[in-house]
Structure 1
Amino acid sequence: MRFNKKAITFSSNSINVAGFLNTPENTSKATPALVCVHPGSSCKDQTAGIYAEKFAELGYITIVFDASYQGESGGEPRYTEDPSARVEDVRSAVDYLTTLDVVDNERIGVLGVCAGGGYAANVAMTEKRIKAVGVVASANIGRLYREQNPIQTLEQIGEQRTAEANGADPLITQWIPNSQEEREQAGIDDIDIKEAIDYYKTSRGQSSNSPNKLKFTSMEKVLAFDAFHLADQLLTQPLQIVIGSVKGSFGSYSDGHELYEKAASADKDILVLDGVTHYDLYDQPEPVEKAVDKLETFYKQYL
């Protein structure tokens, strides 16, 4: 099915968020809609955008956007990763969808990739306008960073905040090594990091809206965030999880199983794709098609 792709903006906590609205052609009645949520360090032009377009081809109205403080969206300081803002962005995207006559407000779902999957699950706990939750290679970003000497990091953040309060320039660090050579020099040998570089730092997935920049002091917010906290009480919507069987340091395999076990959803399912890596599910045709097929069946049932 053909669709129209339109650049749009909406407000999230008074920040102008930039996104794309994908509307199937000849949509003239109330249509189901999906909010698509990108990974940490990513943007609307990458993997979440791929899923948004595939579901638009299947007849869904989809919205995908750059997180506040990132990409083409507004917000200062730049390159901030703030879980509370990320969750509010999703909620505000739902607000935007409800203003469209072609959207059926009772048939709005969410689809998140990697950390976007964690944010999608988290917002659904308190955003009951979301009727179905789909996550792909879902990762709990707070858990991931708490595995990397969090107390030392928090102490360094405190020192950096003091320095910046006294006139130092903001410290902008990076999410991943900028090249395989840089990774090797750092002594990192992990499939998720290797494939992250291949995805984000080459023509495969590179985007100017995803510059591999991260405001260091914003990590205090990430370290205190647990995407799955209270899922056993508040995550009640139908839930579909898709992960690959190949384990890497980002932990989407274990996080997917944790979310499945913890969610209070009466209707929930987990699909494990054998031999598939975290980044295969970002853009590789066969794994993505398998994920889309499973999610299409899911959304068709619950939206």
Structure 2
Amino acid sequence: MNIQKVVFMNKELDLRLAGLLYLPDNFDLNKDYSAIVVTGPMLSVKEQAQSVYAKTLTKQGYVTLTFDGAYFGESQGSPRQLEFPAVKESDIEAAVDFLTSLPYVDEKRIGGLGICGSGSYMSVAGVKEPRLKAITAVVPAIADIAKSAMASFFLPDEQVTAAKQAYENGTGELLHLNFMPRAFEEGAAYYFTARGSHPRWSNQVVAWSQLELLKYNVPQIMQEMTKPYLVITGENAWSREASSEIFAAVPNADKELRVIPEAGHFDLYDLAPYVTEAFEYITPFFEKNL
């Protein structure tokens, strides 16, 4: 496959985003291709878990796009490491803008695949972005985040709010959360080893990101989902409850929930046989709907 570095605009934020565009082998400029936006876990950069899925989809003939979200990696935005759901959704919209600008992409056949936190962001984008025609969410992790394992990384809201006000007034330093401590063994086995580590990845997130995450009600939004929708989770995934809650909220009959036996949450980032088994459902889903 041909992998190209690209830059495109998040017009809402007026920020440049750095992406990787994957083109299939034997790419033919005269053909019209289906395309898939692939987004990764919270705080991730484009070369991590999302690249595993993007490469597999490209081998199947799709044009795929991964990118660093605004405030992360090689993309623009300050303060760095700001994780706001509304920003993530605008990034996905910007990615769709970019794909529709490519003459060889069929704008009627664009899908989305999101992993972990962006499994939830991509699900919401499926509701809000009409140009996305079919959505796959792999271990979507944000439903009621206050009930999830991620909430253990948060600080008291009063402390975070005070820090935000002090920073914005110029009287305080930027406060970060340690969002992936090494003590979180399953996550550390991915992010702090050769499996998933990357020089541009950091486990630090701007602390007041939690204020937006805590009021992000994904199941409520998913009640308006009308598109083909596939959720992949793991039998032993810590996020399974959230994934099931998001799936249950969707009234659309054209939906599938698939549970990969024995898989944990992070197993579905990159490990065999779990990712291979996930594609037993992902492949026919996109073949049917794109």
TM-score by length of 2: 0.93
Cα displacement (A) at 1:289: 0.8
SS at match of 2:19: strand
| One-letter amino acid of the counterpart of residue 4, structure 1 | N
> Do structure 1's residue 197 and structure 2's residue 188 form an aligned pair?
yes
Cα displacement (A) at 1:107: 0.5
2:279 aligns with 292
SS at match of 1:229: helix
Cα displacement (A) at 1:149: 8.1
2:174 to 170, 174, 189: 170
Q: Distance in 1 between matches of 2:120 and 2:87?
A: 13
Cα displacement (A) at 1:267: 0.7
1:29 to 21, 31, 44: 31
2:226 to 233, 236, 243: 236
Trace 1:151-166 onto structure 2 (pairs within 5 A): 153-164=156-167, 165-166=169-170
Which stretch shows the higher mean deviation, 151-160 or 286-295?
151-160
SS at match of 2:219: coil
1:188 aligns with none
Q: Distance in 1 between matches of 2:189 and 2:136?
A: 25
> Do structure 1's residue 302 and structure 2's residue 277 form an aligned pair?
no
Q: Distance in 2 between matches of 1:202 and 1:247?
A: 20
Cα displacement (A) at 1:152: 6.7
Q: Distance in 2 between matches of 1:143 and 1:65?
A: 26
2:41 to 36, 39, 42: 39
1:265 aligns with 252
2:111 to 99, 109, 112: 109
Change (3 A) 1:281 1:161: same
1:119 aligns with 121
SS at match of 1:285: coil
Cα displacement (A) at 1:146: 5.7
* 8 Å CA contact 1:117, 1:134 repeated in 2: yes
Which stretch shows the higher mean deviation, 21-30 or 238-247?
21-30
Q: Distance in 1 between matches of 2:139 and 2:153?
A: 23
Let me know the Cα RMSD of the aligned residues.
Answer: 1.7
Cα displacement (A) at 1:26: 2.2
* 8 Å CA contact 1:118, 1:228 repeated in 2: no
Cα displacement (A) at 1:218: 2.4
Cα displacement (A) at 1:47: 0.5
> Do structure 1's residue 65 and structure 2's residue 55 form an aligned pair?
no
Q: Distance in 2 between matches of 1:87 and 1:235?
A: 15
CA-to-aligned-CA distance 1:72-129 (integer Å, 9 cap, x gap): 1110111100110100100110010001111111110000000110000001111111
| One-letter amino acid of the counterpart of residue 143, structure 1 | D
Cα displacement (A) at 1:166: 4.5
Q: Distance in 2 between matches of 1:115 and 1:237?
A: 20
Cα displacement (A) at 1:266: 2.5
Q: Distance in 1 between matches of 2:73 and 2:201?
A: 6
* 8 Å CA contact 2:139, 2:237 repeated in 1: no
SS at match of 1:298: helix
**What 5-or-longer segments of structure 2 have no aligned partner?**
none
Cα displacement (A) at 1:150: 11
| One-letter amino acid of the counterpart of residue 70, structure 2 | S
* 8 Å CA contact 2:232, 2:257 repeated in 1: yes
1:84 to 79, 83, 86: 86
* 8 Å CA contact 1:122, 1:228 repeated in 2: no
Q: Distance in 1 between matches of 2:127 and 2:138?
A: 18
Cα displacement (A) at 1:157: 1.4
1:15 aligns with 15
Cα displacement (A) at 1:62: 0.2
* 4+ residue segments displaced more than 6 Å: 149-152
1:226 to 197, 217, 222: 217
Cα displacement (A) at 1:172: 2.3
Q: Distance in 2 between matches of 1:265 and 1:10?
A: 33
1:187 aligns with none
Q: Distance in 1 between matches of 2:88 and 2:73?
A: 13
TM-score by length of 1: 0.89
CA-to-aligned-CA distance 1:45-71 (integer Å, 9 cap, x gap): 110111001100110000001111011
2:136 aligns with 134
